[in-house]
Chain A
Amino acid sequence: MTEHKDQDTNMREARINALLDRELDDQQAEQLKADATADQALARAIIEAYQLQRAMEQVRVEPAPASLRRKLKRIPRDSRPAYLQPRWVAAFAAIPLAVLGLVLLQPSAPPAGQIRQAEIEQAQRDLAVAFAYIDQVGNLAGKQIETQLVDEMSDAVAGSIFRTVQHQKIL
């Protein structure tokens, strides 16, 4: 089951990467669009990938500090650990800038105040639904208790009448 899920995730990411790299033909693109319409998680993943790509395009790669560059030059290239290879140093420096860029360069993202208001409204709705379910369970419990009590009282009353009649017959 987990393997199947991993394969699905890999396939999904491959399709999204192909879309971003413009490697899909028209039919494949249409198919992906139809799948995204039916699958919110896929649609969200595609949107996030586009946003990330846009942010990455805006990122200016920060050059390594001079002191680090001097140290790197002193190490023969072949014996440098992988994480000190210049491309990785630049990549690590780019990550916080990418995240910052993503946050700042969101032309369609609503302002923080609107997001907060939407959260409040959703919380109100959720609380109302929660209390309605509490009410529903309480009513269900009440009905079941009432039914049981009525049954037991009916048995008790019927039993009492029966015994009275029997007693009278004997007399």
Chain B
Amino acid sequence: MKRFLITAFCTVLALPAIAQEDALRDLPGFVDFGEMNSIYGEPKVNISIGEGLLKLLFPIVKNEDPEVAAIFSRLKGVRVSVYATGGDSAAALDQVSRVKNTLSALAWSPVVQVNEEGQQVQIFMKMNGEVMDGLTLMAVDGEEAVFINVIGQLDPEELSQLMGRFDVDLEESLEFNFN
């Protein structure tokens, strides 16, 4: 009985995070990067911000910069997974190839494709007229495999405006300035 209650309680706690990711899956800009935890363990960075959390941030952005707020309101989700490959990037490179093929089949437009020995950078956009429904960035080098998916109806130039509002040193990723 005790075990049942503890399990039920933990399941209820996990539901909102799962629901947030599930809600993004139906959007045209969403990309499924597949599963890599079984190869590289838990990702060292795992971010999934859905519409719900972005709406919480909107009043702050609007207060600081109304122009950026208009762009921010069209952002639907941001997902980042960063795995430490420990020098063994073969599996990550395979995964990037698989996702690349899937994106090409789904009419995502390749923007940057850089292939070097043991390194890859792939950037794709899902265009919808003159705006994009989604942006995907994948980068693998000797130490890390980075998978990023930005979902929302944005002009690519607007994304750099949004990024300009944040300033963070990745080496000390606990600190940030929100100007």
Contacts and interface: CB of A to CB of B under 8 A. Distances in A.
Given A17-B3, A95-B5, A133-B80, 12 more contacts: A119-B53, A120-B57, A126-B49, A131-B168, A132-B169, A133-B170, A134-B137, A134-B163, A136-B139, A138-B137, A141-B139, A148-B114
Interface of B: 1-3, 5-6, 9-10, 45, 47, 49, 53-54, 56-57, 60, 78-80, 82, 112, 114, 116, 119, 121, 123, 137, 139, 141, 146, 148, 150, 159, 162-163, 166-170, 173-174, 176-178
Most buried by B among A91, A102, A125: A125
Interface string A65-92: 0000000000000000000000000010
A17 B2 contact: yes
Contacts, number: 115
A97 to B, nearest CB: 12
Contact of B176 (A95, A124, A136, A141): A124
Given A137-B121, A137-B148, A128 B178 contact: yes
A131 B56 contact: no
Nearest to A129: B173
A171 B101 CA distance: 53
Nearest to A125: B176
Contacts of A131: 162-163, 166, 168
A132 B163 CA distance: 8
A54 to B, nearest CB: 12
A144 B119 contact: yes
Nearest to A145: B114
A133 B146 contact: yes
A24 interface: no
Contacts of A134: 137, 148, 150, 159, 163
A10 B9 CA distance: 17
20 contacts: A17-B2, A48-B9, A49-B6, A119-B53, A119-B56, A124-B57, A124-B60, A127-B47, A128-B166, A128-B168, A128-B177, A130-B47, A131-B168, A132-B168, A132-B169, A132-B170, A133-B82, A133-B170, A134-B137, A137-B121
